[in-house]
Each structure stands twice: as structure tokens, then as C-alpha cells.
Amino acid sequence: MVLLPLAGLALILWLNHGGRSLPDRFVLSVPLSGSLDERAPSASGLPFSSAEGPLSLQDLLFTLHHASSDPRVDAVLLDIDGVRTTPSKISELRRAIERTRASGKRVIAFLHSPEDSDCMLGAACDSVIVEEGGFMLLDGLRAETLYFATPLRKIGVSFQAAQWKRYKSGIEPFVRTGPSPEAEEEVSVLLDEVYRDYIGYVSRRRHLSPDSLRSIIDNVTLMTSPEAVRLGLADGVASSWRFHRELERRLTGKEPDPESGFFVGADRYRDSMEWPMKADTKDRIALITLSGPIVRTTGEEALGLGSGVDVAAVRRSIEGALKDRRVKAMVLRIDSPGGDALASAEMLEMLDSAAVCKPLVVSMSGVAASGGYMAALSGRSIYAEPLSITGSIGVYALKPEISGLVQKIGLGRSIVTRGRNADANSIYKPLDGEAYRKFVEASGEVYRDFVGKVARARKMSPGRVDSLAGGRVWTGRRALEVGLVDRSGGLFDALGEAQRLGGIDSTRQPEIVCYPREKSWLELLVRGDFSAIGSRVESALAGRVIGRLMPGIGPVPAALYPLLSGDHGGEVLTVMPCDIIIR
């Protein structure tokens, strides 16, 4: 009685929405903000509420690809407002903007109080307009890490750590009061490369000398919109209302009409087309996205980094691609800092088996490091953006102990054991000498196995891999030089290679089938999967609350809860030690 009316209403709304045609001429308005997640879940947000958040990176890439060949699109307007994402995603999006411009479409950037990342994207456009009354803040790049060892020690909490090897600095916020020389070296090298790209690209596109741009960043920093124009960083200043009216008047030669529908939003544009690409052959390419921390099971967290992608989701994606006879090749798109070491190894085993049956090409997005790099080893060819963050071949484990806290609060504990080591891994005491040695050696075995996997996949000696490993982080450009990846390029380069390897006619456009396929709220309700519904609601609510309470704080504080909430000896993780975000 409840489901049938809801399903009927949903069908009517869908038919009404899908039946709306687009104008013969329009400006495609594309909002750009936030972290640019690799792929937005199809059922994101809470049930019976509108989806929140900006478009995903894949949404943006495919939207611009469609617009490039759509004769109805007069121009593309990028409404840029506070992008905070990885250098590689900015770089790949810039190249997508350049391809759109090369197709003959004019691309205009409208910036609201822009910062460095907004300026980096705006520079790729034909013209840049800054909102009237706003400011441009160009203060350069900054890397910041919080260290919790001292405040935790004050409340009686500490950690024992196993680190393989020196550059695997993910343990440092929990066991040190400041960065090690290796951690400082890694961050400095990454920032140098990203900063060179920033200065070089923006100065070239805005016809400034690199020294002039550095001087603006170092000595001016904060400027009004007219000052940004005077300094050559923008082409004009206007309010949003006036800018839209003037653009419509200039492109149509008529007075603006609010009812004309001349500006079409990216969400409506997407809903009107065959997504993600219009196919003209029955052949398919499976696009499998591995996004987020790698975990063993749904709902599990990898050191507080979020729910991530689990082994079962990857297995379902692979099975779906292999069972579909029309799928001729697969692209594995990775945007993951790694995670659980055992889960990463299991994913690699599944992907290796799949790659024997059908060609598999890997495309690295913002980050494909540590466990994410392990998964990439399955590819016949690995593509990375020049600023993709990869490598970090190493592992670490953290074992918490709260004996100091127990003593402070006067907590009593009685324990009865059978077996000498039954209580060795308790969080209520530190590991003793023998137990700690075994703890470190177990992590070392995982590291040696990781090095062996890389050596076999990349056809290197273990010694050579070890010289590149030890937790060292590489950009895609440097990874190509040392042999950790095969080619420089983005998602569409990998799709083209998969088309070639799959024997699909190069003059045709195969259908792109996206995995994993997430069930909608209605599907879960019809199946009676109330556990999945509850988990999704909990995740959505937690994301909203944390996003509002701690918008500028990274994942480390949240990591304390899973580490302290179980009686275990610590997980062996292969995770990136840091995030590199441009804002």
C-alpha cells in the first residue's frame, strides 16, 4: 500500500524530468567547489532529501566531454567557488577545460572570492571574471600536520608503532611531537613540484612572468577584484546578476529573458543525455572506480579515514564486468590513499585474475598510493597524471595502550588467561619485549610481501624496488621516470588504451559501464535491506555533522576512536601518510 504509490510517483517524476528538452542554444553552467570526489554515489544523501555536495570529478570530466561536441552549447560557464582538492584533480580538470576550448567552445570562469586553487582552474579558461565586492587571496601553498603524542600522553594514552620503513610517516602524529627529517623531505619535495606547476601554468596562461606571480603571492597576497584585474589575474569584475545578463545579451543579441532558459545547469544537462558517454557500438568498457580508503568490510574504517571501498564491492564489480560478454576491456580508476594491508592484497589477487580474462588498464586520479598502488599493479598499463600522488610502498601498525589513563581514573581490571600471550595485545598495557618484537616482525613480513609484489609486476629486482619503496611518495611525473607507472595521462587516455587492447574499432565509441553499481534507496527498501539503509543513514548523518563541526580538520582525530575502541594489537596498514590538498 505504501510502496506502489511511491513507485508510481517516482515514475511520473522521472518521466516528467527526463522529458524536458533542452533549448536549441544555451550556456552550460557548471558549478565547481569542494573536494571534487572521484565519483558521487548514485544514492548519496538522506532519503527524501535532495543530494548535497558538488559534482564529482568524473561528472565534470564527462560533462565537459559531452559539451565539446554538442552544437547546442554556445559556451561553458564555470562557476568556481572554493575548490579544495588534490593537485592532480586540478591538473586533469584543466586539461579537460583545454580540450573543450580546443573544440571551439568558449569557456568562461566566474570566481567568487577565489583562492589559489580557483585561480589555477580559472587560468585554463578563455576569460576570468571576479565577483564584484569579492577578494582574491593568493597566499601560496602550505602543508600542516598535527601531532597528538604529547596531549595524549597527558591523559595517559600512548602508542607503540611498527614502521616499514623510515619514509612511512603515518605513525608520526601518534608517536612524535614533530616531523622526522624524512617526513619533512617528502612534503617539501611534493610542495616544490606542485608550486612549480602552479607558478608555471598560471603565469603562462595569464601572460605574466613567473617572478611577477611569485611577487604577487609573497607581497600582495590579498587583493580586491579590481586589483586582480589590474595585476593581470582576471579580465573583468561584475556581480553575478549583471554578468549573466550581459553574457546572454552578447551571445544572443537580444535583451535577457528570465524565462528563456538560456543557462542550463550541469545536473539538468547530464539527465538529458546518455550517460556517461553516447555509444555507437554494442561493445563495452567497464569503468571500475576504487575510491576512498581500502577496508575489508562495509562500515569498517581504515584508521578513521572513512567507510571507504571494501573487498566485496570490488568483487561484485569484477564479477559484473567478467560476466558481461559485451565488456571487452576494463579500466580501473583509483583515487585511494590505501588502507588495510590484507584487504589491499586480496583486491590485487582478484584484479590479477580478472586481468587474465580481459585487458585491464589502470588510471590514477588524485592519489593511488600505498594499498592504492598495490591495486594498480594489476594493470597491463598504468596511467598517472603528472601530479598524481603514488608510491608510498610501505606499511605501519599502531598498537594503543591506556595504562596511564587507567591509573589516572582508578579503573580496576581483573583478567584470567590460559596461554602465556593471551593478554599480550591488550590496550590496557604495552607490549613487552618479545611481544613487541613479533609485532614489528609481522609488519615487516607484510612489507617484504608488498615489495615482492611490486618486483614481479614491474619486472624489477627486490633491491631496486626497496630503493624506491620504504614509504617514499612519488608524483606521477617522478613515478614514470623511475618505472613505477607506464604512461602519463588521465581517464580518457586510459579509456582509449582499453579500447585498443579490447579490439574495439577505434572509430567507434563503446558504451562505458560504471562500477560499482550502488543500489538506490527504493531498491534497498523493496529488498527489505534495512541494515544497509541504517548504515547509509548513519554514514550520511555523521558526514554532515562532522563536516559542519570540523570543516578544516583532517581525519586523524576521528582515527582515535577505532584505535581505542577494541582490544586488539593494532592493524597493519598500508596508507598514505598525509593528504596534499590545494585550497
Point out the residues that are catalytic: 168, 370
Alpha-helical segments (H) within 324-461: 341-357, 371-376, 403-409, 433-458
Cell of 313: 564491492
Contacts of 576 (CB under 8 A, 6+ apart): 170, 337, 338, 367, 369, 370, 372, 389, 392, 473
> Can you say how many angstroms the Cα of residue 34 is from the centroid of all Cα atoms in its chain?
11
d(CA 571, CA 576): 15
CA neighbor of 272 nearest in space, from 95, 72, 122 = 72
Look at strands 222-224 and 135-137 and give their pairing. Answer: antiparallel
Helix (H) or strand (E) holding 238: strand 236-238
Contacts of 457 (CB under 8 A, 6+ apart): 377, 378
DSSP line for 173-220: HHH-SS--HHHHHHHHHHHHHHHHHHHHHHHHHTT--HHHHHHIIIII
d(CA 191, CA 186): 9
d(CA 86, CA 90): 7
Q: Is the separation of the CB atoms in 488 and 480 below 8 Å?
A: yes
Burial class (CB in 10 A: 0-12, 13-18, 19+), 257: exposed
Cell of 520: 538506490
Burial class (CB in 10 A: 0-12, 13-18, 19+), 313: buried
Largest CA distance in the chain: 87
361-387: burial string, b at 16+ Cβ within 10 Å, e else: bbbbbbbbbbbbbbbbbbbebbbbbbb
Distance between the two ends of the chain, CA-based, in angstroms? 50
Q: Is the separation of the CB atoms in 562 and 307 below 8 Å?
A: no
